[in-house]
Amino acid sequence: MYDVQDCVTALGPGVRFAVWTQGCLRRCPGCMSPQSRPLDGGTLVDTRELAARIAESGREGVTISGGEPFLQAAALCEMIELARAERDVGVIVYTGCTLEELQASDDEAVHRLLSLCDLLIDGAYVEALNDGKNWRGSSNQRAIPLTQRYRAQAAEYGAKPASVEFFFGEEGVRMVGVPSRELLERFRNMKF
């Protein structure tokens, strides 16, 4: 796991619990979380513990991003199934793969994770296509409802300005969401 954050509103409908997996084989220029890419980084977590945190959070659902979540499909399936054994939890997954690539996979866990996912945001981040819209990094990424759960909300995808939120903790300040290129530039030029 790369990180977790409760009470997130910038990564999908409602108030959500967010999980970022560790490890990604892509090298998208402008990647906003390069620290999540090394396959040997992050923290090992017990899926049972993480599932309990998600269930106890009381949030509408969990948003899973990365890193590349589908590299850890089996563990994520276990986490989702354990959380859903406690209560009804909606699942959104961000992936750098396209749905078609995932459907062509011969990894059974990839298909299982797709079957547990309510809304898939697919496609790699393309910096030049970062249009500053909600719930996405760039306009090539699609919001694909895989169940009825978020079908209505999926229409709001990319229809509003992007938002980011800040969480202050003992380890510092964490920004969640995808800032527009302009906002990112302003952050880079800020003096603290």
Interface ranges with ligand SF4 (CB under 6 A): 24, 26-28, 31, 33, 36-37, 66-68, 96, 124-125
For residue 51, give every residue at least 6 positions away whose Cβ sits within 8 Å of its Cβ, in sequence order, or none: 78, 79, 80, 81, 82, 83, 86
User: CB neighbours of 174 closer than 8 A, spacing ≥ 6?
Assistant: 3, 5, 166, 167
**Least separation, in Å, of the C-beta of 73 and ligand SF4?**
15
Residue 57 Cβ, how far from ligand SF4 at the closest point, in Å?
24
The two tokens of residue 17 are 């619990």
Q: Which is nearer to ligand SF4, 26 or 151 (CB)?
A: 26
Question: What is the closest distance, in whole angstroms, from the C-beta atom of residue 84 to ligand SF4 in the complex?
Answer: 26
Least distance between ligand SF4 and beta carbon 164 (Å)? 15
Q: How far is the CB of 125 from ligand SF4 (least distance, A)?
A: 4
Q: What's the DSSP call for residue 133?
A: B
Q: Which helix (H) or strand (E) holds 184?
A: helix 181-189
Run of H or E residues at 49: helix 47-57
- Whose Cβ is closer to ligand SF4: residue 55's or residue 66's? 66
Nearer to ligand SF4 (CB atom), residue 89 or residue 178:
178
> CB-wise, 57 or 95, nearer to ligand SF4?
95
Q: Of 128 and 155, which CB lies nearer to ligand SF4 in the complex structure? A: 128
Q: The dihedral of CA 35, 126, 178, 78: what is its sign?
A: negative
Distance between CA atoms of 2 and 22, rounded to whole angstroms? 5
Q: How far is the CB of 86 from ligand SF4 (least distance, A)?
A: 29
d(CA 5, CA 103): 29
Q: Return the number of the residue (49 or 185) whose C-beta is nearest ligand SF4.
A: 185
Give the integer Cα–Cα distance in Å for 176 and 162: 11
